[in-house]
Each structure stands twice: as C-alpha cells, then as structure tokens.
Amino acid sequence: MRIILATEGPRLPAERALEQPCGGVEIATAMLVRALAQGGHAVTVLAGTAAAERDGDGALWAPSAEGAADLVIANRAPKLFKILPKGRRVLWLHNPARYLAKPRHAIPLLLARPRIVVLGPSHRASLPRLFAGAAVEIPLAVAPPFTAGGTAHGPPAPRAVFASNPLRNLDALLAIWAARILPAVPDASLHIYAGAGVYGGPQKLADRAAPVMERAAHTPGVVLCGPQPRAVLAESYARARAMLYLGDPGETFCLAVAEAQAMGLPCILGAEGAVAERVRDGQSGIVARDHDAFAEAAIRILRDDAAWSAMHHAALTQPPPPDWAEVAARFVALARP
C-alpha cells in the first residue's frame, strides 16, 4: 500500500526521535511512520523543504509527492489536504478539536471529507458536532525503551517527577508542592524534566514558560533536570516514587503518564484533560478532583510504602496497551471502504 503523511512538524524519523528529547506529537508521528514502513508499506512523509531522503526504516521524507496513494494522512492541520494527492483521506488529531469549527479549518475539512482519528473518549468529546460522525478512536502507543516495561522493586526514596510542558499547570503544582506536600514530607524532592525547547515553535512559547521555570528554580525541594532523552527518563521513572501532574485541558492522551505507568510508576493526577484515561483510578494511580485531594494523595504515596507497593504492582500488571504495529494496522484499515 502507498501511504503519504503530511506534517507541519520537523523531519524527525524514529532513529533520531528516540535518541533526543521531543514532544508527544513528534514521537507519535515518528513511530507511526516507522511502524507503517516496517509493515511493508511504501511510506512518504511530506515535511520541510530540503531534498528528499530515506530514513533507516525505508520511509521517504520529502517536500512533495506525485501520484495517487491508497491512504493520505494530514497530521493535525486540515489545510495539508491541499498538498496531498488523491487517496483515502484521514485527519490525525492530537490537540483538542474545537478549533475545527473555525472556517479556515472547517472549509478544507468539509472539502476533503476525511475520517478523523482522535486519541480517546475525552478527545472525541471535543469534536464539533458537525464532524463527530467522522471520528474513529485510535489511541497512541508507548515507544522504546518504555515498551520493555519496568520491573518490580521495593519502595524508593520520596522522589517525584514532572515530565510535561511547563505551561501545563506546573505553576499550580509548584504552589501545592511548596505549601502542602514538602512540609508533610520534608525529605521529598520533585525532579522536573521539562523545557519549552522540546516543543519547538515560536520564541513566545519559551518566553511564556520562562517565569514558570524561574519559579521552579527557587522552589524548595525542586530539582531542574531539563529535557532528557527517553532512555534517561525511563531510568528516572524506575527510581522515582510517583509522577505528579495536575493535567491540562490541552491533554488529549498524555504519553508521559502512559510511559510512567509502563515503568510501574504510580501517578497522582488532576482531572483535567485525558490524563485520567491513562490510569486505573485507585489502583495504578489516583485521579484527584481538587487541589486538596491531590496534595493528600501525593503525600500518601510518598510516605506510605504499602500504598506505593500496591500501585506499583498494579501498574506493572495491567494489560499491555496496543503497540505501534497495532496502531499502524488500524490506520491501514481506514484505507478500506
């Protein structure tokens, strides 16, 4: 099958994406391209303006493509259908879908009439009613080294981690940490693996994140680790006690929580966005309905060895999620009538 995917993101094949810090959309795109190519399909990715080049999996990354395809995928932006050739059309969404109601997105979407891939129930709920009937849910999968999972071990030191966009409620987390969590667990530490540079984009993103990171640098018990490759994150999760994340309305899947759970790391979460879909509430993690409940849950998991051990084992023994080969197969199925 000939498959063409168009993206506004960088040229980032899997062999590079797995070795450097990058955002969830970038790693997901790279892993889908790899899985499709390794599945025997002829894959072309339209990205950038540089000369065409093949990656180690055989996918072609190029500025343009000619000739019809069996399946064409626009990554996030409906306007990309303008540069895609004929073929069964799919729009792969990663952000809350309310923006599709704006005319500049709705018009090319109505003209293309694609299937719309969303990542889960809360993501589906964000679709404008006009496009709800075209939606199909295909969740993301974790990528190496998290595919290997973690191993059971005893309770570690009270070290928590945060590994998301610093603009996604890190400021509120720091306030809860300083006012409630650290006074109750004085030997605890919060290791922050974050930085605006992971997500690319305009300088204004880094400018907005700067005050949050400055506050983090001056918050007691906080250790700034910066963006790290996936292998470093996996090792850190294996030594940590909990992932703390309040969630955010912009979360439509949250690979960070999925990766933490794969390593057996209990997650204390807020209720915003799709983060609650990544844990079994009360078993492999806790979904707190307000900041007081979040602080209480964090304190408990950092201090209570029995509670931590139960959640650690629950995370390790939950049914394995789909892998990227399964995700790719579900995309390929969309090419069929």
8 Å CB contact between 296 and 176 = no
| pLDDT score at 320 | 80
Token readout for 328 is 């790719």
- Give the CA distances from residue 321 to residues 70, 178, 292, 312, in Å, rounded to whole numbers and listed in that order: 27, 35, 31, 17
CA angle 317, 318, 320 (to 5 degrees): 105
Confidence of residue 83 (pLDDT cuts 50, 70, 90): very high
Confidence of residue 78 (pLDDT cuts 50, 70, 90): very high
- Give one DSSP letter per residue of 142-174, joined into a string: --TTGGG---------SEEEE-S-TTTTHHHHH
Question: Taking the CB of residue 213, how many other CB atoms lie within 10 A of it?
Answer: 18
Helical pair 291-303 and 305-317, crossing angle rounded to 10 deg: 100
Q: What is the DSSP letter of 90?
A: E
| pLDDT score at 296 | 98
- Give one DSSP letter per residue of 268-318, joined into a string: EEEEETTGGGGS-BTTTEEE-SSHHHHHHHHHHHHH-HHHHHHHHHHHHHS
pLDDT digits (tens, 9 = 90+) for 240-283: 999 999 999 999 999 999 999 999 999 999 999 999 999 999 99
| pLDDT score at 337 | 75
Strand, coil or helix: 80: helix
Burial of 272: CB neighbours in 10 Å, binned 0-12, 13-18, 19+: middle
Judged against a pLDDT cut of 80, whether residue 304 lies above it is answered with: yes
Compute the distance between CA of residue 198 and CA of residue 160 in angstroms, rounded to an integer.
21
3-state SS, 191-223, equals: EECCCHHHHCCCHHHHHHHHHHHHHHHCCCCEE
Average pLDDT, the chain: 95
Closest CA to 155 of 336, 6, 307: 307
Dihedral angle computed from the Cα positions of residues 124, 284, 179 and 305, in that order, rounded to the nearest 10 degrees = 180
Range 77-81 average pLDDT: 97
- Cis (ω within 30 of 0) for the bond into 145? yes
8 Å CB contact between 233 and 117 = no
HSE (side-chain half, CA atoms, 13 Å) at 97: 28
| pLDDT score at 152 | 97
Confidence of residue 201 (pLDDT cuts 50, 70, 90): low
| pLDDT score at 297 | 98
- Give the CA distances from residue 4 to residues 42, 61, 83, 168, 332, in Å, rounded to whole numbers and listed in that order: 8, 10, 10, 32, 12
Question: Which amino acid, one-letter code, is at 131?
Answer: F
Token readout for 72 is 């064409």
Confidence of residue 196 (pLDDT cuts 50, 70, 90): low
Question: Which amino acid, one-letter code, is at 38?
Answer: Q
Residue-wise burial string across 13-40, b where 16 or more C-beta atoms lie within 10 A, e elsewhere = bbeebbeebbbbbbbbbbbbbbbbbbbe
Share of the chain above pLDDT 90, in %: 93
Token readout for 291 is 């900041």
Residue with tokens 């997650």: 267
Q: What is the DSSP letter of 100?
A: G
HSE (side-chain half, CA atoms, 13 Å) at 232: 15
pLDDT digits (tens, 9 = 90+) for 18-55: 999 988 999 999 999 999 999 999 999 999 999 999 99
Structure pTM?
A: 0.94
| pLDDT score at 200 | 52
